[in-house]
Amino acid sequence: MNCQQCAKVIPDGFIDCPWCGTARKATSAPPTPSLGRAPSASTSNSHPLQWIGFLASFSIFCFLQYVEKLRTDGELTLANSAEFLGRCAGTFVLASIFVFLYDKIRRRAPSTPGRFLGISSVACLLSFLAFLNSANSSPFWSKRSSGAYLQQLIKNPGAPGVSRAPHTKWDPAARAFFSDLIAQNREYITEVSKLDLALQPLYTPASFRDGQSIQAIIDALGQRLIVAEKYSQLELIFAKMPEHLATIDATDQEKLEFLEGFNKGVPKAVAAHKSLCALENNWLNASIDLYKYALAHRTTFAYDSGNILFKRAADSAVFGGKLNKSRELYSQFLKAYTASRRAQDAALAQMGLQRSDITLGNSK
């Protein structure tokens, strides 16, 4: 080592420089090793178990949410999937808040899989408690139990206790209400079916071939409109429920509470039916307008070899516009009517019934 003062080499064994006497600086001590604890093997080995626990608890959470969805809504469809996913996400967020606050209070910093395991476990607990609460709040009128109840009422109105459906003092009122509803629907279908033959050539060129054919369609559409307006009201059926309850052996307060629950579903049912009837009326009125226009302008076109030939383009454009409007409204009505029938079939399937079951049960 060289002396920092005179730059001469200091021989080994000398502390001070033998040439100039300058003391040699002591070498710095090596840094003290850190005393931090290295990750233990047991902690590292627990991570896979925590991930497995998280996956298991998350699967249980999804199962509970799915069962609750089936119990309340009957089935999980594309239409209600957004609500289902939102409810799952909301439960998970609430569980995350609970776990975060717990860690803050305890001043602990768990591992990532440990934190996920805690959140999913709390989410499972919340889902289970919510399921128990909803089941206990409505032990009788859940969708499943009410489905079995209605199945019992329609299929076996005179044999209480045969199925799992509960037998209560409200059964006669419920049977009377459903009988009125089914009877009106059957009468509507019967009267509409009688007009099918007269309206079979609707919108075809042959229905415009002469004044007699046009007038026949106008008359049939007018009769069809009368039928539609006749069965456009459901309020009378709902309004008869107090009459059905009059014969029930119950207190006035019990009847009032029953009516309050019953009336909660009335506005939605009436609004859906009115929407369908409005589409039906719009289609029929547009079709009547089309054929009245054709009858009033009979001399402006001719029926030739299955085609309608107009003399002027302006008359053809007006006629085509009315025809397209009528067909479009007819298509809208058919789609809405089909959707309503599918909704009814789905509701019946939820109760384990078919339309034939209702017909047979109502004829007893």
pLDDT at 178: 72
Say if residues 156 and 162 touch (Cβ distance below 8 Å).
yes
**H/E segment holding residue 288:** helix 266-296
Residue 172 has pLDDT above 70, yes or no: yes
pLDDT, one tens digit per residue, over 310-364 is 999 999 999 999 999 999 999 999 898 888 877 766 655 654 555 565 554 444 3
* Mean of per-residue pLDDT scores for the chain: 76
Give percent above pLDDT 70 in the chain. Answer: 70
Contact criterion met (CB below 8 Å) for 134 and 127: no
Instruction: Specify the higher pLDDT residue, 144 or 352.
Output: 352
Report the alpha-carbon distance of residue 177 to residue 236 in Å, rounded.
11
d(CA 84, CA 119): 19
Percent of the chain topping pLDDT 90: 22
Q: How far apart are CA 221 and CA 214, in angstroms?
A: 11
pLDDT tens per residue across span 212-257: 999 999 999 999 999 999 888 888 888 888 888 888 888 888 888 8
Q: Given this model, what pLDDT does residue 199 score?
A: 86
Confirm or reject CATH 1.20.120 for domain 147-362, answering yes or no.
yes
For 202, half-sphere exposure in the C-beta direction (CA atoms, 13 angstrom radius) is: 22
- Distance (Å, rounded) from C-alpha 306 to C-alpha 314? 21
pLDDT value at residue 353: 54
pLDDT band for position 23 (50/70/90)? low
Give the tokens for residue 312: 């002027």
Q: What are phi and psi of 33, to 5 degrees?
A: -65, 145
Mind listing the pLDDT tens digit for each residue in 273-297? Answer: 889 899 999 999 999 999 999 999 9
Domain extents in the chain: 47-137, 147-362
